[in-house]
Chain A
Amino acid sequence: MSPPLGRVGLHSLPFWQMLQQPTQSNVINGVIASGAAGIMIVGAIVTVVLITRYRKWGVLWTQWLTSTDHKRIGIMYVVLAFVMLARALIEAGLMRAQQAFGLHGGFLAPHHFAELFSTHGTIMIFFMAMPFLTGLINFVMPMQIGARDVTFPRLNSISLGLTTAGAALVMISLALGKFSTGGWFGYPPYTETRFTPGVGPDYWIWALELTGLGSTFTGINFVATIWKERAPGMTLLRMPLFTWTALCTSLLMMFAMPPLTVALSQLALDRYLGFHYFTNALGGNMMHFVNLFWMFGHPEVYILILPSFGIYSEVISTFSGKMLYGYRSLVSATVAIAILSFTVWLHHFFTMGQSASINAVFGIATMMIGIPTGVKVYDWIWTMFRGRIRFTVPMVYAIGFIFLFVLGGMSGILLADPGIDYQVHNTVFLVAHFHNVAVPGVLFGLIAGYHFWFPKAFGFRLHERWGMLSAACWIVGFMLAFFPLYPLGLMGLPRRAVSYAQPSYVPLERVAFVGAILVLAALAALVVQLWVSIKHRQENRVFVGDPWDGRSLEWSVSAPPPEYNFALTPVVEDRDAFTLAKERGEAYRLAAAYADIELPKNSALGPVFGAVGLALAFGLVWHIWWLVILSTLTVLMTLIASGFSRDTTRVVHAEEVRRDEERWIGAARASTAISRADECDSCNVGLAVQEQEGAAA
């Protein structure tokens, strides 16, 4: 019989070692770890107390957690992403501090430092970028194609539940036990029981299994939605570019997540049941893991970047007041990137024993990705050319992106050459490269999208100046934090080094540390911006719904949109459907008749699967077998019971739809249309003056 709490014991607490052996190093690391755990626990308690104090549990449950509305699910995903972003950025700051003072030591223990880079990478990819982009696609895509919701609303809520459970597991690892030290890709045999017997890799495995399952379902759901729910006339080549990138990303999720699921399951079988997939003995082969992982891992980076490419396309076109230049080439480039993404996985391990010929093939395939990406960059620049550009916050991110991303891409082309890769692999040159594409590429895009669509989601604009400050801090902070890593890599500093013996590294490390501080300031500015914006929301309302003179259908409804999105299903005749409607004077018109609208009912399945998934994973991590059995049975029973549920839709009556429409169109008629010069002023209530395409002022 195993004990009821499995492997959990006093030694699992973050301050235990410091109390048992109070050496200086143990105390410093114990205080940092316990502080982090404390912040997490206090944060959770404060949240619970505040919700109870303001009696919001009912609202939270009925309006949010059990909601099957794609817009609310999208918003919850983005909230999750921001919470996780905060943690992972603080970890990044700690790592930069360690390296800045890491000549012959530093203050962090090697094990602690290894946990930090593992959680930082794992969180940033799986629990920050993935939920962020999934949230934005969830919120925007159905409206862009003129749909009422995604094809499988309950499944959508379940995906959110599973992703949140994975994130919660990573958060729990702060307070109980230690996370993996194997990096975000957790290569065996290091992560096998023989070398890492503790709970760390198990936390990593089950957190990723949960969110991986969620992402697979999300991919299926989005592809089905884009394929089957488009409004009449919304042909594939009339879809907004963001929807195109959403489609390609979702296809990649569908096809790239299974290799991850397989790799993680096999590692789990090795660790739990003594199989030999990746062990050193009895025919195990760790190269299987490496191949499987990167068959997922490389498409994954395009899963991350494609939606951001879509966001930049929308942002640049909107804020240049022009139709997107080279729409068809952008679509082809997106599809080309999606396909090529499956052909380059080997470049993640050029140095791991293939023949030179194989390396050459994958090196060339890798360089080829630069071609469609280059096409995109030119298309964006041509879209801006002779446009009337407005330097709003999203546009500043977009312009910063173009400059910085091209640099990051260039260093990628260098690394695609196996000869060069042999020289710099596993140095911080690589770290500089992938942050140079991931931060300006993925993250700036997501934050630009957050600024762009925030008014649509909540009905008021975000504060412009705090946004600018944040953007400036992000851009400058990024450059200071990561450009020094290029020369440091060339000077030979290995990645993930907890300390070093070369005094010549110190100045560049210090510069990078300053950059990290600026990035943390950028995050703080985002928080302040949100606070200030909520406080002044009344004067920044954009209820009419079109604050940026938008071009696609999501701008053609009120802000926030009604839960059914469109009172009548729109009929699409060309690209930029809303711009067309505005030019023809067909926007903001009451229809002669409205019909009843059928919507999915709320469902508790999402939170239930989230909670049970978390319990199952927690039981597996800590070997609490009764919990594992209980949760498995609950999953099974819930699945069967949900099959028996009928009556899963409800009806919004035509009268109610008409009332909503009259209120909104009445507001539109009573409002003054503003020109683009007043876009960021409180007179912007979401109604735009129509101007000539691309005309100068």
Chain B
Amino acid sequence: MSGEIIKHPGLNLGAAHGPDHDAAEPMIFGFWLFLMSDAILFGMVFATYVSSLSATAGGPGPRALYDIRSVFIETLFLLASSFTFGMASLALKYRHGAPRLIAWLAVTLLLGTGFLGLESHDFITMFANGGAPGRSGFLSAFFDLVPLHGLHVMGGCIWLISLVGQIARYGIDRQVKLGIMRLALFWHFLDIVWIAIFSVVYLGGLT
């Protein structure tokens, strides 16, 4: 590791990857910029949620609707998926070969889709308990914030599948490498957003 030039924040490919390492610099920097912009998007939606907490308009509130056990399992899924994506990144960096890389990505995808499945189940339960978004300002704000994160995860899953397809077609070439590195940032970013959602929405709502 010593003497390695860090081209951008986060996991670097390293000089052993030659020109791909150089090509990562502007690409990953640009993606960090996108994440900053996306963070503002989430920030605004968080602000909407927090300032709508009392706007239940006589409808059900957090206690009647949130199921902390289910959300806790979802959280574990996402945290585990961040770990497995980390393993995928290491497999990429140290060139452990396509099968291992794809295996870690596949586990990540499984955890990601598992998260989405559980989350949809939560939403369906909420609907059944009278917690539809049209019921109150509070529920509108909830259904802006949490599904927005879910949509991001879904986008991440589609992106992941598409990258595996690219590996199958082209092997681990430069664009695949840069794609995986960007998706990794995206995935970890969504994890952080989820931790904020878990703390502010679920823990905050139930205490």
Residues of A within 8 A of B (CB): 151-152, 216, 219-221, 223-224, 227-229, 254-255, 257-259, 261-262, 265-266, 269-270, 273-277, 281-285, 288, 292, 295, 636, 640, 643-644, 646
Which among A216, A276, A636, A643 is the interface contact of B134 at CB below 8 angstroms?
A276
- Across-interface contacts of A285 in B (CB, < 8 A): 51-52, 55, 137
Q: Do B51 and A636 touch across chains, with their CB atoms under 8 A apart?
A: no
- Residue-wise, chain B 123-162 has the 8 Å CB interface mask toward A (1 for contact) of 0000000000111111111011000000000000011001
CB B85 to nearest CB in A, in angstroms, measures 18
- Of all chain A residues, the one with the shortest Cβ separation from B48 is A288
Task: Evaluate contact between A282 and B26: CB separation under 8 angstroms.
Answer: no
Q: Which residues of B contact A (CB under 8 A)?
A: 25-27, 29-30, 33-34, 36-38, 40-41, 43-45, 48, 51-52, 55-57, 59, 133-141, 143-144, 158-159, 162-163, 165-166, 169-170, 173, 175, 179
Q: Complex Cα distance A277/B25, Å?
A: 41
Residue ID in chain B nearest A229 by CB atoms: B26
Partner of B56, one of A216, A220, A283, A640: A283
Asked if residues A262 and B163 are in contact (CB atoms below 8 Å), the reply is: no
> Which residue of the partner chain A has the closest CB to B34?
A220
Contact A275 B41 (CB under 8 A): no
**Chain A: which residue is nearest B165 at the CB level?**
A644
Are A227 and B29 in touch, CB under 8 angstroms?
A: yes
- CB-defined contacts of B52 to chain A, threshold 8 Å: 283, 285, 288
Contact present for B30 and A152 (CB under 8 Å) = yes
CB-defined contacts of A220 to chain B, threshold 8 Å: 30, 33-34, 37
Q: Give the residue among B25, B40, B141 with the most A Cβ atoms within 10 A.
A: B40
| Chain B residues within an 8 Å CB radius of A224 | 26, 29-30, 33
B36 in contact with A283 (CB, 8 Å): no
Query: Can you list the 6 inter-chain pairs with the closest CB atoms, starting with the nearest?
Result: A283-B137, A283-B55, A283-B57, A224-B30, A275-B140, A258-B41
Residues of B within 8 A of A275 (CB): 133-134, 140, 143-144
- Contact A228 B141, beta carbon cutoff 8 Å: no
User: In the assembly, what is the distance between CA of A641 and CA of B140, in Å?
Assistant: 35
Q: Are B162 and A255 in contact (CB under 8 A)?
A: no
Once bound together, how far apart are the Cα atoms of A644 and B137, in whole Å? 42
Q: Which residues of A contact B37 (CB under 8 A)?
A: 216, 219-220, 254-255, 257-258
Interface-centre pick from B29, B133, B140, B162 (highest chain A CB count, 10 A): B140
Q: Which B residues lie within 8 Å of A151 (CB)? A: 26-27, 30
Residue among B37, B57, B141 with most chain A CB within 10 A: B37
- In the bound complex, residues from chain B placing their C-beta under 8 Å from that of A265 are 144
- In the complex, what distance in Å separates the CA atom of A258 from the CA atom of B44? 8
- Give the residues in chain A near B165, CB-CB below 8 Å: 644
Complex CA gap A82/B183 in Å reads 39
Question: Considering the chains assembled together, what is the distance between the CA atoms of A223 and B33 in angstroms?
Answer: 8
B residues less than 8 Å from A221 (CB atoms): 30
Beyond A258-B43, A644-B169, list 20 extra A-B contacts (CB 8 Å).
Answer: A219-B37, A220-B33, A224-B26, A254-B37, A254-B40, A258-B40, A259-B40, A262-B44, A266-B144, A275-B133, A275-B140, A275-B144, A276-B134, A277-B137, A277-B144, A283-B52, A284-B55, A284-B137, A285-B52, A643-B175
**A282: which B residues are within 8 A, CB to CB?**
57, 59, 134-137
Is the Cβ of A283 less than 8 Å from the Cβ of B30?
no
Q: Do B144 and A228 have beta carbons less than 8 Å apart?
A: no
Most chain B CB within a 10 A radius of its CB, from A269, A274, A275, A644: A275
Bound CA span A220–B27, Å: 11
Query: Nearest CB to that of A151 among chain B residues?
Result: B26
Q: Which of B29, B40, B136, B162 is within 8 Å of A276, CB to CB?
A: B136
Whole-angstrom distance from the CB of A320 to the nearest CB of chain B? 36
A-B contact pairs, 8 of them (CB 8 A): A152-B30, A254-B36, A254-B37, A258-B38, A258-B43, A265-B144, A277-B137, A285-B55
Complex contact A640–B162 (CB within 8 A): yes
Shortest CB–CB separation between residue A602 and chain B, in angstroms?
A: 18
In the assembled complex, the Cα of A640 lies from the Cα of B173 at a distance in Å of 17
Shortest CB–CB separation between residue B33 and chain A, in angstroms?
A: 5
Q: A151-B26, A259-B44, A285-B55 are in contact. Are A254 and B33 (CB under 8 A)?
A: yes
In the assembled complex, how far is the CB of residue A199 from the closest CB belonging to chain B, in whole angstroms? 22
Closest to B44 in A: A262
Q: How far is the CB of B125 from chain A (nearest CB, A)?
A: 19
